[in-house]
Chains A and B, each alone.
Chain A
Amino acid sequence: MKTEESIQIIEEMIATARKDVGGDGYLYLSWGYLVLVSGIMHYLLLMITTFSMPWLPWPILMSLGGINQFIYIYRQEKNRKRSVSAVERMLGYLWGAVFICLILVLGMVGYKEFIVEQNSQLAYVLVLVLYGIGTFVSGGVLQFKPLIFGGIASWVIALVAYQVSFDLQLLLLSLAIVVSYILPGHLLIAKQRQPHV
């Protein structure tokens, strides 16, 4: 075997492995769309109805998201996901931590603001900040710039959201989800479908 052939094999296998390492576009997209729909439904229920629990789409759709993720991971497991990288393990812990923090934030701040005060200023801002951490770090680990920019965009939008009324915050949250989740999710899937060199 020539040295050039050795290098070609190494490069091919690294490219193959990189395609399989972490960054599941499907999960980014499914969560992205669920959050987008929840945000818009919350906005519409708040603005055009007198429904006393306009935030209700959140627990319902997020629970559906959880079930969807569980089924997806179970199927992957059943199909014997056959390799695990340190990157995947790290991303699993990262999003696990973000998810737990989201539950804590929405459980504590959200409960106080939505249920007790019937008005929120901080809950969604914190949600945006946490999303930003998840997408920014994922982008860095996967060396995927759209996610890095998406994370930064989430933080900028969080800064703006802190200054505006709650109904506008809902629209900003939806915008942040499009920029930080949905667009990068589509780009990530497109990248994974590209034939490797």
Chain B
Amino acid sequence: MFDALDPLLHSQLRLAVMSLLMNFEFADFTYLKEKTGATAGNLSVQIDKLEKAGYLDIEKTYKGKRPLTRCHITKSGINAFETYVKALNSYLKPDSPS
């Protein structure tokens, strides 16, 4: 039986952001923008959605006069990502126990 895929993660950009953040303690908005190739506007909307779901913490500060937005993945974000990957596996290997 297939596990349900978290609709919040089952989107290209949000999944890319979460996959990146799984590797880092934090990443800046500009880093995420560069690595995902997203526009600033779209990325901003998507990380807001992830933050509202409790998957990310967003920290807005200033470095000198420049605004600095840092994203950290939360515990519930890590759990959601792992559950998503498990669900993906159940699609790829439908016979294996999930």
Chain A positions near chain B (C-beta within 8 angstroms):
1, 3, 5-7, 9-10, 12-14, 16-18, 21, 80, 82-86, 89
Q: Determine if A85 and B10 form an interchain contact, defined as CB atoms under 8 angstroms apart.
A: no
B91, closest chain A residue (CB)? A3
Q: Determine if B26 and A83 form an interchain contact, defined as CB atoms under 8 angstroms apart.
A: yes
Taking the closest CB of chain A, its distance from the CB of B71, in whole angstroms, is: 10
Chain B positions 9 through 34: 1 when the CB is less than 8 Å from some CB of chain A, otherwise 0: 01110011001101111111011000
CA–CA, A7 and B15, complex, Å:
10
Residues of A within 8 A of B31 (CB): 82-83
Q: Give chain B's interface residue range (CB within 8 Å of chain A).
A: 20 to 34
CA–CA, A17 and B73, complex, Å:
14
Chain B positions 32 through 45: 1 when the CB is less than 8 Å from some CB of chain A, otherwise 0: 00011000000000
Residues of B within 8 A of A1 (CB): 10-12, 15
Q: Determine if A13 and B19 form an interchain contact, defined as CB atoms under 8 angstroms apart.
A: yes
Residues of A within 8 A of B88 (CB): 3, 6-7
Q: Determine if A10 and B26 form an interchain contact, defined as CB atoms under 8 angstroms apart.
A: no
Q: Determine if B27 and A83 form an interchain contact, defined as CB atoms under 8 angstroms apart.
A: yes
With contact pairs A3-B92, A6-B10 given, residues A85 and B25 touching in the complex (Cβ less than 8 Å): yes
Please provide the 5 A-B residue pairs with the shortest distance between their CB atoms, ordered closest to farther. A13-B19, A82-B31, A17-B23, A82-B28, A83-B27
CA–CA, A3 and B19, complex, Å:
15
Residues of B within 8 A of A85 (CB): 23-25
Q: Determine if A9 and B25 form an interchain contact, defined as CB atoms under 8 angstroms apart.
A: no
Which of B10, B16, B20 has its CB near the most chain A CB atoms (within 10 A)?
B20
New A-B pairs, 10, CB < 8 Å, besides A1-B10, A3-B5, A3-B88: A1-B12, A3-B91, A10-B15, A10-B85, A13-B19, A14-B23, A16-B35, A17-B22, A83-B20, A83-B26
Q: Determine if A84 and B24 form an interchain contact, defined as CB atoms under 8 angstroms apart.
A: yes
Check if B63 is an interface residue, CB within 8 A of chain A: yes
Residues of B within 8 A of A3 (CB): 5, 88, 91-92
Q: Determine if A84 and B20 form an interchain contact, defined as CB atoms under 8 angstroms apart.
A: no
B90, closest chain A residue (CB)? A3
Q: Determine if A6 and B23 form an interchain contact, defined as CB atoms under 8 angstroms apart.
A: no
